[in-house]
Amino acid sequence: MINSKRIAVVMPAYNAGKTLEVTVGEVPDLVDIRILVDDRSSDNTVDLARRLGLLVFQHDRNYGYGRNQQTCYREALAAGADVVIMLHPDYQYTPLLITAMASMVAYDVYDVVLGSRIIGGTALRGGMPFYKYVANRLLTAFENIFLGVKLSEYHTGYRAFSRRVLTELPLLENSDDFVFDNQMLAQCVHFGFHIGEVSCPTKYFEEASSINFRRSVKYGFGVLATTMQFALQKIGWMHFPRFSDQGRKLDPAYTEYYASRTETARPA
Mean pLDDT of 100-108: 98
Q: Which residues have a Cβ under 8 Å from the Cβ of 11 and sit 6 or more positions away?
A: 20, 23, 34, 35, 36, 37, 54, 72, 86, 87, 88, 89
Q: Which residues have a Cβ under 8 Å from the Cβ of 125 and sit 6 or more positions away?
A: none
Mean pLDDT across the chain: 92
Tens digits of per-residue pLDDT, 146-181?
A: 999 999 999 999 999 999 999 999 999 999 999 999
Mean pLDDT of 249-267: 59
Residue 111 pLDDT grade (very low, low, confident, very high; cuts 50, 70, 90) = very high
Q: Which residues have a Cβ under 8 Å from the Cβ of 98 and sit 6 or more positions away?
A: 7, 9, 27, 28, 30, 31, 85, 87, 160
| pLDDT over threshold 80, residue 253 | no
Domains of the chain: 7-267 (3.90.550.10)
| pLDDT over threshold 70, residue 208 | no
User: CA geometry: angle at 18 spanning 15 and 24, to 5°?
Assistant: 95
Main-chain phi, psi angles of 193, to 5 degrees: -80, 145
